[in-house]
Structure 1
């Protein structure tokens, strides 16, 4: 790799780290070219060398968030079926300071994604992928006899993700009430209920 390319990659890494620092402190509402430049101690002109405008900056920030979410420490899935489903749910919840910070940033991204067709499509795909992961665990649970034999795993996956994201929002706004221990208890109650009864018919 040429020295020029190495310098470019190193500088882009510095920019990405500055983007993350701004996200962690201010969320997407505070993500601007000027804020990233300030976080780097550099000029706005340097940042615009990498991003033509706010739209490109936000798209890059979402990529960083996705990558950091995917690679952050996670609970091991353990056995297939409901044990894996439980691990998926707990890995989404804000049970640690890092998890809470990550979730705050994700929630702050919703407004941005809802107002941009391309970002909207990317987020929709992301949630489809999460539901697919949940459904795979539920399919295993059904095969292992951990769910009622008539369980609709696609519907259950949507139910579990809806419950989990609702709990995320409550925990972010009221962490004193929704402590990590209580979040875990509520998640276990919900999963136990599904295992016993499935979902009522529509």
Structure 2
């Protein structure tokens, strides 16, 4: 089969991405194959080979698509500087609604594939770095506003702790939704943020000297 003409290729790109997303939403990364995507498009695997010559290319595209879809979801307004904005940012990560739960399930299903491929793992590490970068400015503001219990805590480290907390809660909520419904997740997040304000996160000997 000859490759599609440039105009046709661009016209089909959206259809291909929609089909990839449909497979991800239904089966996760474990069910993401050229055959499954072709079936979602009522097309052929030969046609898809013009877009994804390898399974890795398909997975890389799916991860990029997932990141774009995640970023495009409605976000909560940032109510005030500092910890209130940290709260809103982390609430956007948690599986508090059916749509958020579905998106998080897809992300978690991608981890095995990313861990098995050095290049994909590096790209995933970059995504986490960008996520920490979203949280860090709000923690810097919290420090300026004296909302943190540890005046010596670095915003970069706190951002890593906050993202680790949120993603740990995501995993527990996905595997045990009855134990971690939306109200429990929110209460746990509020307790975590309160702990940032009332107690140091680092032992005295690990703090940056004045």
Aligned to 2:72: 71
Unaligned runs of 5+ in 2: none
**Pick from 178, 188, 191: which aligns with 1:189?**
191
- What is the TM-score normalised by the length of structure 1? 0.94
Aligned to 2:140: 139
Aligned to 2:160: 158
* Separation in structure 2 between the aligned mates of residue 198 and residue 78 of structure 1, nearest angstrom: 25
- After superposition, the CA RMSD in angstroms is 1.2
* Separation in structure 1 between the aligned mates of residue 152 and residue 202 of structure 2, nearest angstrom: 11
Once the 2 structures are TM-superposed, how far is the Cα of residue 62 of structure 1 from its aligned partner?
0.6
Structure with the largest fraction of helix: 1
Once the 2 structures are TM-superposed, how far is the Cα of residue 102 of structure 1 from its aligned partner?
0.6
Aligned to 1:89: 90
Q: Deviations over 1:74-105 (max 9, x none)?
A: 11122111111001110100011111011001
4+ aligned runs moved over 4 Å, structure 1:
none
* Separation in structure 1 between the aligned mates of residue 63 and residue 131 of structure 2, nearest angstrom: 16
* Separation in structure 2 between the aligned mates of residue 198 and residue 88 of structure 1, nearest angstrom: 22
Q: Deviations over 1:87-136 (max 9, x none)?
A: 11101000111110110011011111111111111111111121122221
Aligned to 1:10: 11
- Give the total of aligned pairs: 199
* Separation in structure 1 between the aligned mates of residue 158 and residue 135 of structure 2, nearest angstrom: 9
Matches of residues 18-97 of structure 1 in structure 2 within 5 Å? 18-97=19-98
* Separation in structure 1 between the aligned mates of residue 80 and residue 98 of structure 2, nearest angstrom: 27
* Separation in structure 1 between the aligned mates of residue 63 and residue 126 of structure 2, nearest angstrom: 13
- What is the TM-score normalised by the length of structure 2? 0.91
SS at match of 1:80: coil
Matches of residues 110-129 of structure 1 in structure 2 within 5 Å? 110-129=111-130
Q: Deviations over 1:14-46 (max 9, x none)?
A: 111000000011111110000000111111111
